[in-house]
């Protein structure tokens, strides 16, 4: 017997779980009505929509064949490690350096990207992060190590 399309099954069920979790967490906010939306209206609506889309992705996958799922442990460890690096470095190194470190660590998961490309991507992502969070949203974050 051939295996089911486990990638879409897992992905769709994960989307549904995230959507239901978001809708569940927003239950304490006032929902309001269609003409007078409360703060809970958008997260509940978006969460339920995400849950329905997740089911739409997962349901057909139960009826088609797919390749067996293989987990790239190195890739997963590097991507999750980059999140930990960012969280650990944000307060001490600042937003720009923490972003560069996180992007470099996560880019190690792609074996085809060279160091020049990694540094170029890290610089671009750091610039966009700075522009969005520090300039655009005026968030109070340490930008550089000396601004901590």
Could you read off the pLDDT of 19-38 as tens digits, one per residue? 999 999 998 888 888 788 88
Burial class (CB in 10 A: 0-12, 13-18, 19+), 66: middle
Q: Are residues 82 and 22 in the same domain?
A: no
Helix (H) or strand (E) holding 79: helix 73-93
Residue 68 lies in a domain: no
**Minimal CA–CA distance to 108: which of 94, 121, 98, 118?**
118
Q: Are residues 37 and 79 in the same domain?
A: no
Whole-angstrom distance, CA of residue 142 vs CA of residue 76: 28
Whole-angstrom distance, CA of residue 14 vs CA of residue 89: 29
What does the pLDDT read at residue 1?
46
Q: Are residues 53 and 78 in the same domain?
A: no
Q: Are residues 57 and 110 in the same domain?
A: no
Q: Are residues 106 and 143 in the same domain?
A: yes
What does the pLDDT read at residue 146?
81
Q: Are residues 80 and 135 in the same domain?
A: yes
Q: Do the beta carbons of residue 104 and residue 122 sit within 8 Å?
A: yes
What does the pLDDT read at residue 148?
60
Domain count, the chain: 2
**Which of 61, 84, 104 is at the close of a domain?**
61
Q: Are residues 50 and 77 in the same domain?
A: no
Q: Are residues 52 and 80 in the same domain?
A: no
User: Which domain covers residue 110, as residue numbers?
Assistant: 73-147
Low-confidence residues in the chain, pLDDT < 70: 1-2, 148
Q: Are residues 90 and 57 in the same domain?
A: no
What does the pLDDT read at residue 15?
96
* Angle subtended by helix axes 6-25 and 41-61, to nearest 10: 160
Could you read off the pLDDT of 36-60 as tens digits, one per residue? 888 888 899 999 999 999 999 999 9
Residue 81 lies in a domain: yes
- Number of other residues whose CB lies within 10 A of the CB of residue 101: 19
Tokens of 8: 């879409």
What does the pLDDT read at residue 4?
82
Whole-angstrom distance, CA of residue 40 vs CA of residue 86: 30
- Number of separate helices (H) and strands (E) present in the chain: 5, 0
What does the pLDDT read at residue 145?
86
What does the pLDDT read at residue 78?
96
What does the pLDDT read at residue 2?
64
């Amino acid at each position: 017997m051939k295996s089911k399309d486990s990638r879409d099954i897992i992905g769709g069920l994960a989307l549904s779980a995230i959507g239901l979790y978001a809708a569940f967490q927003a239950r304490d906010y006032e929902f309001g009505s269609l003409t007078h939306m409360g703060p809970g209206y958008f997260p509940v609506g978006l969460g339920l929509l995400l849950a329905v889309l997740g089911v739409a992705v997962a349901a057909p996958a139960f009826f088609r064949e797919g390749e067996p799922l293989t987990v790239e442990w190195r890739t997963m460890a590097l991507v999750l490690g980059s999140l930990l690096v960012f969280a650990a470095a944000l307060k001490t190194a600042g937003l720009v350096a923490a972003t560069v470190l996180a992007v470099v660590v996560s880019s190690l998961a792609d074996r085809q990207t060279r160091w020049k490309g990694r540094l170029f991507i890290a610089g671009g992502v750091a610039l966009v992060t700075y522009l969005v969070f520090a300039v655009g949203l005026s968030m109070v974050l340490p930008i550089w190590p000396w601004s901590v």
